[in-house]
Amino acid sequence: MDIGIHGVRQTAHNTPQGRLGLSVTEKRSHTQRIETAAEAIFTLCACCMVFAVGSITLYMIANGIPAIYKLGAREILFSSVWKPTAADPSFGILYVILTSVAGTVLAIFLGVPVALLTAVFLTEAAPRPLAAVVRPAIELLAGIPSVVYGLLGMLVLNPLVYRLEQWVFRGSQTHQFTGGANLLSAVLVLAIMILPTVISVSETALRAVPEQLRASSMALGASRIQTIFQIILPAARPGIVTAVVLGVGRAVGEAMAVNLVSGGCVNVPLPFCSVRFLTTAIVSEMGYAEGLHRQALFTIGLVLFGFIMLVNILLHKILREEKG
């Protein structure tokens, strides 16, 4: 439709289908059907995820609760005697919980600084040829199955830790020697295992810091080290927090490697004690557990699940606060 030179509408129309013979009101049913189908498939996939998470949660709660109900929360969560197969059985998992907490915290304290400095090195300092070696090495580290970490821990770490143990407790009458299979070994293995995650996530965060901030800091006469620690690391904080939390998640949930190097007795989490983690308790006992014992192991699973949930909620909270 044209507007005439004096603003009078000229009512000469083309054919309603235009030049290509297509009307805008005509339904194009074939394309429409594909659109609808695609949308339905996407929705279904998303629903599967939600369903999986929901059913895991329900299942864990349904199976973890009975033991708590039968024994009482205090008896199972806050008692330290774990004798599930004794004539008069006792199901206190306090030491197991404490071991997982202590092991994770120590692994984070050891691993995160190393990981952060590695990430800083890769983004800020590494000459290109060296970075080209270090980065694939880290990716490889992430891809190694955890049981292999455990095997190497047994072969390499345990003997070293045993030597240290012999030196520390030389002449001791009371210490029960662990042969190196103890909390310290487990912490060292965990610290190494969280490195790839923490390094790559924090490296991404460091790379995302605008080049301009670095330049501005240098232009004020700050040195490179000052710029890194006072501008770049703080600017990358949300990403680094994410990295640490993911590391915590990995450390809390690790079972295989820890099972091989940590000894396996239920004990107070001290560096040279043979210890049992939440994960390793389940792995090592589920094979023969029955009745209440089995239910107690599910309770341990529920506690572990609770920790992971807590870590995730914490992460969301921190990230939201950083944004707001």
Partner 1 sequence: MNCIKIETTDLNLYYGNYHALKAVTMDIRADAVTALIGPSGCGKSTFLKTINRMNDLIQGVRITGRVCLDGEEIYAPGVDVTTLRRRVGMVFQQPNPFPMSIYDNIAYGPRVHGEKNKNRLDEIVERSLRRAAIWEETKDRLKKPAPGLSGGQQQRLCIARALAVEPEVLLLDEPTSALDPVSSLRIEELLLQLKKSYTIVIVTHNMQQAVRISDDTAFFLAGTVVEWGRTGQFFSRPRDRKTMDYIAGRYG
- From CA 245, how far away is CA 238, in angstroms rounded? 11
What is the size of the binding site for partner 1 (CB under 8 A)? 18
By CB under 8 A, tell whether 222 contacts partner 1.
Answer: yes
**Of the listed pieces 31-39, 220-228, 261-269, 302-310, which binds partner 1 according to CB under 8 A?**
220-228
Contact of 271 with 265, CB cutoff 8 Å: no
> What does the alpha-carbon distance between residue 122 and residue 116 come to, in Å, rounded to a whole number?
10
- Give backbone dihedrals phi and psi of 2, rounded to 5 degrees, phi first: -100, 155
Should residue 231 be labelled a site residue for partner 1 when binding is judged by CB under 8 A?
yes
Q: In terms of CB distance, is 86 or 219 closer to partner 1? A: 219
Taking CB under 8 A as the criterion, the residue among 215, 270, 308, 309 binding partner 1 is 215
Site membership for partner 1, residue 213 (CB under 8 A): yes
Residue from the set 123, 217, 267, 299 that interacts with partner 1 by CB under 8 A: 217
Contact window for partner 1 (CB under 8 A) among 86-94, 108-116, 143-151, 228-236? 228-236
210 contacts partner 1 (rule: CB under 8 A): yes
Q: Does 228 bind partner 1 (CB under 8 A)?
A: no
Stretch in the footprint of partner 1 (CB under 8 A) among 49-57, 59-67, 209-217, 299-307:
209-217
- 126 lines the binding site for partner 1 (CB under 8 A): no
Instruction: Point out which residues bind partner 1 (CB under 8 A).
Output: 210, 212-223, 226, 230-231, 234-235
